[in-house]
Structure 1
């Protein structure tokens, strides 16, 4: 197969930042019709009014159809969440355990304090997106997702059975098992977790542009993710978690967490699905499963991917006083978006 036509994909987990970085990276997601945009700015997007203002800045920067989220804090007003969703301002609410990842200091420490918000969301049909990791320093970083599922997510799911949950950027077999074993639960999978494992990041030297949170896991977990992404399971769909950081912040003594994959995400995914003999299922993963989970119609317009010579990509993109380095999978990509 040398040509593949798909409904235009969506990205169900995207970081666009703000100000000059927003102006640089927003156009890089042009292959995607819609995107769930993360609210972890500084300060975070915590009210409907702030989400509406951020939406306007994103559209002015060149991405036409952002789907906004609110950052869940222990002070979040349930009424504001419900009103913002009813008005079409937000699509979902994002839960960060405090300290779990970039700009998560305002996240949740005491889950009992957000029960009223979760109850209101459950009643109103508002999806909850979750960064699923514990942050305890005594828990090995490679075990933080599995521990979160046992300690926090399983009781939360039991307490709110009708709440629609998206477990974001899943990285482990344990996360896959949880999603497959629970109703009203879906999951996003990133480009980097399909293309790489912790050996790719660590063997022979630390590669900072592979460093993200949740961190890359063993190849056995990578294999499980590739299986569920490519076998047509509708509970799993694309969320790139494309997370731009200035190159100097990535290539630092203590580097920032995140992989910038937006410009070539679809080429990377076509590579993965081709390797797995599943190009006929790529459309489901990138274009159909996500809208179904969020109760939205798939996009009507189409894009075409064509297999040809190795894709020529810049190492970095620059503009507006910013420089961001692209995720490099370490081998040629041959699928072009036309």
Structure 2
């Protein structure tokens, strides 16, 4: 039994930082352990142009505490009015690393997303041409489709036709939650990758609903049956290059989570690496944690692996229950089991 594990410093390939007071409070929780993160653009208003992304990047860097090193990897929010030339320029300058597609109405702040996929095909064609990855929130929003089936239906009705219509487009299936998504990803070539969140490796839908509604376990895509959670654990711990970490850490103040229409999202930035160590150790796969958290994501995005390291040590971890922000308290995700691995930063 190993008591210490040193990894290349991990990255987070799906992160919500919000803005203003919330940004200033939650950014250090990520920067403490992660070197880089793909930053979600679903602000209000969304980050839709290169100028928007440049301004948001500046606000993130201004909020980074002295002595912390962190690189925000910026994205654009795809709309039916996205300008391909503006997108090309933002990519050519090195500013953006991906474009995010939200089906309209699928999740938090997605009202400006795509309704008619034919209208964004010219942008997708341009992205394939210049090698700019597409990040997908993979759920349909049809009211007649059960919320627990929306990912599987999206794969059949939207994702597969989209990829066939746009050969060469690099795609990231974000926050996959089903065995269907795992199986689909495994059947594709290496132009497709899939992120898996911390919380979907831990919870199933019973955690949200049994014994009363647990708002801090409510997320979108919603957690599914146990068989799907087990499929995600198997994929994450397999070491396969197409699966990598995207926490989808999504802070909401407690008053917005704990009400009659609570917001979707789990805030996992603070304790993700300790939770992952527990999950991977339980699966007998601690030796695969570095691939999932530190190696596979950079390979998919065509970026170098981080040179510095972090060390996980077998000693009980202590994390705050809440993060205090200027807009209210944010509850840190509770995995429901003890965390016996602590993270100690180190450098090469």
Instruction: Tell whether 2:162 aligns with 1:160.
Output: no
Q: Give the distance between the partners of 1:20 and 1:302, measured in 2 at CA.
A: 29
Q: Which runs of no fewer than 5 residues in structure 2 stay unpaired? A: none
Q: Secondary structure at the match of 1:262?
A: coil
Task: For residue 321 of structure 1, report the CA deviation from its aligned partner.
Answer: 4.0
The equivalent residue for 2:53 is 51
Question: Does structure 1 residue 123 correspond to structure 2 residue 124?
Answer: no
Kept in 1, the 8 Å contact 2:98–2:133? The answer is yes
Mapped to 1, the partners of 2:184 and 2:301 lie a distance apart of 19
Q: Give the corresponding residue for 2:43.
A: 41
Match of 1:150 in 2: 156
Partner SS, residue 299 of structure 1: coil
- How far did residue 274 of structure 1 move? 0.5
What is the rounded CA distance, in whole Å, between the counterparts of 1:289 and 1:11 in structure 2? 11
Matched, 1:229 2:236: yes
Distance in structure 1 (CA, Å) of the matches to 2:36 and 2:46: 21
Q: Structure 1 residue 305 and structure 2 residue 315: aligned? A: no
Task: String of CA shifts for 1:155-196, please: whole Å, max 9, x gaps.
Answer: 001111200000000000111111111221000000010011
1:87-236 paired onto structure 2 within 5 Å: 87-183=93-189, 184-236=191-243
- Cα offset for 1:7? 0.2
Contact 2:253 2:327 in 1 (8 A): no
Write out per-residue CA displacement over residues 183-231 of structure 1, whole angstroms, 9 at most, x where no aligned residue: 2100000001001111111111111100000000000000110001001
Q: Is the 8 A contact 2:38 2:72 kept in 1?
A: yes
Query: In 2, distance between residues paired with 1:131 and 1:234?
Result: 20
Task: Answer whether contact 1:20 1:322 (CA < 8 A) is retained.
Answer: no
SS class of match (2:318):
coil
SS in 1 for 2:271: helix
Q: Deviations over 1:131-159 (max 9, x none)?
A: 00001111100000000011101100111
d(CA) in 1 for partners of 2:174 and 2:208? Answer: 21
User: How far off its partner does 1:257 sit?
Assistant: 0.2
Aligned residues: 337
Task: Check if 1:281 corresponds to 2:288.
Answer: yes
2 CA distance for matches of 1:168 and 1:159? 20
How far the C-alpha of 1:322 sits from its partner, in A, is: 2.8
**TM-score normalised by structure 2 residue count:** 0.96
Where has structure 1 moved over 4 Å in runs of 4 or more?
none
Does the 8 A contact of 1:73 with 1:114 survive in 2? Answer: yes
* In structure 2, distance between residues paired with 1:210 and 1:78: 38
Partner of 2:222, secondary structure, is coil
Secondary structure in structure 1 of the residue aligned to 2:91: helix
The answer to whether residue 38 in structure 2 is matched with residue 32 in structure 1 is: no
Shift of 1:77: 0.4
Task: Check whether the contact 1:58–1:64 (CA below 8 A) recurs between aligned residues.
Answer: no
Contact 1:69 / 1:90 at 8 angstroms: preserved in 2? yes
Structure 1 match to 2:253? 246
Q: TM-score, normalised by structure 1?
A: 0.98
Unaligned runs of 5+ in 1: none
**1:11-31 deviation digits (Å, cap 9, x = unpaired):** 000000001110110111020
Alpha-carbon distance between aligned partners in 2 of 1:177 and 1:81, rounded to the nearest angstrom: 32
Corresponding residue of 2:267: 260
